[in-house]
Amino acid sequence: MQEGKNGIIVIDKPENISSSKAVTLIRKTLKVKKAGHTGTLDPFATGVLVCCLNQATRLARFFLHGEKKYRAELRLGIETDTQDNTGVATSTREVADFSTDDIREVFNRFRGKIMQWPPVFSALKHQGVPLYKLARQGRPVQKPAREVTITAIEIMEVALPYVRFDVECTGGTYVRTLCADIGAGLGCGGHLSALRRTVSSGFSEAEAVPLSDVETLVRNGEIAERIIPMGEALRQIPAYRADSGLVERIVHGRTVTEKDFLPVQTAPTKGLIKIVDENDNLCAVLDAQKNPDPYKYCCVFH
């Protein structure tokens, strides 16, 4: 693959590898100059990892806060310092013979907008230092609670002390903190014992390439078929096809106003817009804001 290749490749990340390590392997195997992901998966977690290649790394910010879906396993009765199965047990309690209705009642408390305390073992930073490094040094820092949204949560199986469930949430939600909070709500504590991301920013596990298959696809000349072009990647942003005149204005960074879209299309008046040319190549992402005249440039691609 040449360095000029731009686009998105969706990877199915295996266990026991960090997201950054997975991206490094992608960059080296595909021989691209730049690569980055759009949301970290912990090393023990598996599933959808969206990787941006070359110029597509500039699109990463549009994916970071997108909806994500997970299949998770909660282990009741044991609390850990990391809130997951990689940590040290800090509390062990007996798990009562909860009914599914008992458990569902507590789960339902976490639907909608909730306040969540970020874990002290996380990649968030304090004065430039990741929190997990400070925690490992015995200097944990607790960041303020922040609002997240649990769009949907459904119990899939109860096999005490384990509860398996699906959850859909906004970016920035910590599923391990959700597990710890549910365990606390049940009075016995708990931690996240397994996690798989099934959807990230509109990309599903059905589209994902197992990390172990990437090298074979490259060797067989089939990897290009698995790369999503930039013009198709921003699925949640409406597309507006520009004629050659408007493309020319945009690539040179000239002012774009409502009249530039007429009479071909109704001018967008609110939110983000992706501009594609007549071949569906991504030219730019614009922001209409509250007043669309003129439009604000987010990024431009030549």
The pTM for the full model equals 0.89
Is domain 7-66+202-233 classified as CATH 3.90.600.10?
Answer: no
Report the SS3 class of residue 41.
coil
CATH number of 239-300: 2.30.130.10
Give the C-alpha distances (Å, rounded to integers) separating 244 from 87, 247, 269: 57, 5, 22
Which sign does the torsion angle of CA 129, 134, 136, 142 carry?
A: negative
**Could you give phi then psi for residue 18, rounded to 5 degrees?**
-75, 160
Specify the CATH number for 68-195; select among 3.10.129.10, 3.30.2350.10, 3.40.720.10, 2.60.120.10.
3.30.2350.10
- Where along the chain do the CATH 2.30.130.10 domains lie? 239-300
- Where along the chain do the CATH 3.30.2350.10 domains lie? 7-66+202-233, 68-195
The one catalytic residue in 42, 81, 84, 260 is 42
Respond yes or no: is residue 293 known to be catalytic: no
pLDDT by residue for the chain (302 residues), tens digit each? 444 489 999 999 999 999 999 999 999 999 999 999 988 899 999 999 999 999 999 999 898 878 999 999 999 999 999 999 999 999 999 999 999 999 999 999 999 999 999 888 877 788 888 877 877 888 887 888 899 999 999 999 999 999 999 999 998 899 999 999 999 999 999 999 999 999 998 899 999 999 999 999 999 999 999 999 998 999 888 888 888 888 998 888 898 877 777 655 565 567 888 999 988 899 999 988 766 568 889 999 87
